Structure 1
Amino acid sequence: MTDTYELSITRLIDAPRAAVWAIATERMAEWWCPRPWTTEIIEQDWRPGGRSAMVMHGPDGERHDLEGVFLEVVHEKHFITTDAFAAGWIPRTPFMTGLWEFAEEDGKTRYTARARHWTPEARDQHEQMGFTDGWGKCAEQLAEIAEREAK
């Protein structure tokens, strides 16, 4: 797989990696989707094959269900999810695999979020849905929480 079907954002967060990881994984509802949208966590089973289920709610009553599984979780380094399966390895029509990475960089955290798609059409659709702005805003919200609490 090359980056041909990948979209990504990165941000340097002025907080230690352990703190950013804890906020990212334990407080997803606070940063996962761009405000004024909100995130309802249904289940986050942080192990390979564990269910990842959330609902994003829009300000005008929109609802976007997210259902998938964790493929890999490496404490304080990264987590990987996909919507290609539901819990129990039940196949679904895939849209993307998401990779969230946390790297130590001079006492700060290099946060990188990637969306890898099966087709260029899916990548383009995600880009047109506002990937850069939306995922960038989520990174900003994560940074705001981590930097405020690191002081």
Structure 2
Amino acid sequence: MSGTAAHELSVTRLIDAPVAAVWRAWTEHLGEWFCPVPWRAEVSVMELHPGGRSAMTMYGPNGESMPLEGVYLEVVPQRRIVSTDAFTAGWMPAGPMMVRIDEFAEEDGRTRYTATARHWTAEAKAQHEAMGFEAGWTTSAAQLASVAERLAKSD
């Protein structure tokens, strides 16, 4: 296992919707699926191109507020989105947790969706696991699937 893979967490899900619908759910309906209910996310900025800004706030059921900001490193429509919280807009260094990679692959008319978190250190990976990575990201992937499947039926 490479050093990067040693610090990687990932979830995958086969979604019963074409890649175009999953891409649309990810890019146009992120607030509906990004964090497990009863949490919710509000997207304030999504500049979906390399160097573009990503800004949102996650809100918890007890009044919690967690702002998230970063930049997109790579965007390949209907294939891959790579982002990081290591920088904010204008390439200002920030206290990084990870690089996030979202991949969309066609599989017999459905979509193999994989979300990966790459951490700088084993400690950061362990912290993310302790925060509930597996349950949280698996739930979010299920919510993404639900939105994408709904969109596919309405197309």
After TM superposition, the score normalised by the length of structure 2 is 0.95
Deviations 1:102-149 (A, max 9, x none): 000010000000000000000000000000000000000011122233
Counterpart residue number, 1:102? 104
Counterpart residue number, 2:130? 128
**Gapped regions of structure 2 (runs ≥ 5):** none
Counterpart residue number, 1:44? 46
**What secondary structure is seen at the aligned counterpart in 2 of 1:88?**
helix
RMSD: 0.9
Q: Which ranges of 4 or more aligned residues in structure 1 deviate by more than 3 Å? A: none
Deviations 1:43-97 (A, max 9, x none): 0001111110110000001111101000010000010000010111111121100
Q: 2:118 aligns with which of 116, 119, 123?
A: 116
**Gapped regions of structure 1 (runs ≥ 5):** none
User: How far apart, CA to CA, are the structure 1 residues paired with 2:138 and 2:42?
Assistant: 20
Deviations 1:8-39 (A, max 9, x none): 00000000001110111111001010000010
Does the alignment pair 1:142 with 2:140?
no
After TM superposition, the score normalised by the length of structure 1 is 0.97
Percent of residue pairs bearing the same amino acid type: 60
Counterpart residue number, 1:93? 95
Counterpart residue number, 1:29? 31
